[in-house]
Every structure is written in C-alpha cells, then in structure tokens.
Amino acid sequence: MTEEEHYVYVVDDDTPVRKALERLLRSAGHHAITFGSAPDFLDFCHPDAPGCLILDIKMPRVSGLELQDRLAEKGISFPVIFITGHGTVPASVKAFKAGAMDFLEKPFEDRELLDAVSRGIEKHRRFRQEQSELKRLRTRLDTLTPREREVFRLVVAGRLNKQVAFELGTGEKTIKVHRGRVMEKMGAQSLADLVRFAEKLGIHSSAG
C-alpha cells in the first residue's frame, strides 16, 4: 500500500479475534503485531515506523481506555482504532476525547477496519513528518544567535527592516545582514517560508 514500512498493532484478549485480525491485516499488506493484553503492548519495544493501534475496549485487568491513557503519558502517539462488542456511549465519548481516531463496533466490515487502518497509518505518517520537520527547524533555530532570533521574531511579525533597526537601535544595513543570515540558517527561500517556520515553532511576535 505504501512504500514505507509501517506496523498495525492489535491488542485484544480474545485469541480467535486477535488471530483473525492479524490475518485480515496481513492479507491487506499490513504488518500486524498482536498482543493479548495492554501490558504486553506497553512492554513491547515498537519500531520507529508509522503505525496504528487496534484496541479492544473491553479487556481484563487494563482496558483499552486505560491503555490509551498510559500511551499518552508515555508520549506514544499511535492513532487508536477502538473495537468493541457492544458500544456504549460513555465509553466512546471518553475514547474520542482521548484522541481515538475511530470507533468500530464488532462485528465490522473488513473495509471499515482497513480504511480506518489506512487513515491511521497515513495520519501517523504525516504526524511523523511534521514531527521530523519541527525537529529540523528547532535544530536550525538553535544555530541562530540571540540577535538573529530577535530579528527573526520581528521579521515574521511583519516589521520592515527600518522598523526592526529602530527597535533594536541599530542601522538598517546591519538588519539586512542579520535577516539574510536568518533566512539562510533556517533554510527559508522567502519571507513566507520564514513565517510558516515561525508558526510551526510557535514563535510569535511579542510586539503587538
């Protein structure tokens, strides 16, 4: 389906269901890894690859919802597809609030699950890309001097060079040099790029 290696994790205490889901996912070209309980999954060292989690909401000891909480605590951010034998409104509301991506009621059509899985993988993939771009930008941001960070903040806030120079108490020419260096260090081709990066990094103009 996608070129990139990805994994689908299945946590269900019911062995036949677990086994059937693994086959279905495998037949659709997914890499499925199954777990009989939530703790088993938590103990598993999952590969750094796009993936999604299929979680039975009703399980002994640690339920799907509890596992969702634990994963959030650990910063593991797989999209979660809940499956349940008998959906209850409070459980599903709670699941969605906790960021569940999908909620499927057993028994479900294979398409429903596979579509959800694809959406999940895609989502995770995007999430991973964004995460990696942000990481790159942060690394670049770290290379800026404090003066360049000031200039970066004021430029993305829409200030003209002359205004920036005035605010920082220096000459317009100097600002032009700083600005060029910020563009270069951040890998921005245009001011628009720079503004987008600033947004992603959460840099806002303090001069309001």
Partner 1 sequence: MGCPLYFLILLALGVHADTCNAKTRPQTPLTGKNVLILHAFESNVPIFELTDRGLRKSLDAGGVGIRNQFFEYLDLARNPVPEHRQRLVELLLLRYASRKIDLVITLYQEALQFALNEARDIFPEVPIVALYVPLGFEPPQMTQRIIRQIVAPDVKGTLEVALKLVPEAKRVYVATGANPMEKSLENSARKDFKDWEGQLEFRYLSDLPLEGIIAAVSSAPPDAIVLFMGFAADVTGKNYTTREVGKMLGEVSGVPVFGLHDVSLGYGIAGGSLISFEYIGTRAGELAVAILKGAENVENIPSVLQVPHVPMFDWRQLKHWNLSESALPKGSIVINKEPTLWDFRYYLLGGLAFVIAQSFLIAGLLVQKRRKRSAEESLRQKTEELDQFFSVSLDLLCIANTEGYFLRLNPSFERVLGYRREELTAKRFLDFVHPDDLVKTQDAVSTLASQRRVISFQNRYRCKDGTYRWLEWTSASTGNLIYAAARDITERLKREAEAAQRSQELAHVSRIATMGELTSALAHEINQPLTAILSNAEAAKRFLAQADPDITEVRQILEDIVRDDRRASDVVRKVRTLVKKEMPGDEVLDLNKTIQEVLGIIKGESLLPGLSITVELSPELRLVRGDRIQLQQVILNLLLNSVAAMRDSPQTQRKITVKTAMADGASASVSVTDAGTGIDENDIERLFEPFYTTKPEGLGMGLSISRRIIKAHGGDMGASNNPDGGATFAFTLPAHPGDPS
Contact status, residue 185 vs residue 136, Cβ threshold 8 Å? no
- The DSSP call for residue 33 is E
Residue 105 or 167: which CB sits closer to partner 1? Answer: 105
Q: Which is nearer to partner 1, 31 or 106 (CB)?
A: 106
> Shortest distance, CB of residue 50 to partner 1, whole angstroms?
21
Binding site for partner 1 (CB under 8 A): 14, 16-17, 19-21, 23-24, 26-28, 58, 60-61, 63, 83, 85-86, 88, 105-110, 113
86 DSSP assignment: S
Shortest spacing between CB 57 and partner 1, in angstroms: 10
Structure tokens at 21: 């889901």
Residues 6+ apart with CB under 8 A from 110: 24, 28
Q: How far is the CB of 68 from partner 1 (least distance, A)?
A: 15
Minimum distance between the CB of residue 113 and partner 1, rounded to whole angstroms? 8
Nearer to partner 1, 116 or 164 (CB): 116
Residue with tokens 């209850």: 88
C-beta of 27 vs 143, nearer to partner 1: 27
Half-sphere exposure (Cβ direction) of 14: Cα atoms closer than 13 Å: 13
> Inter-axis angle of helices 15-27 and 110-143, to 10 degrees?
70
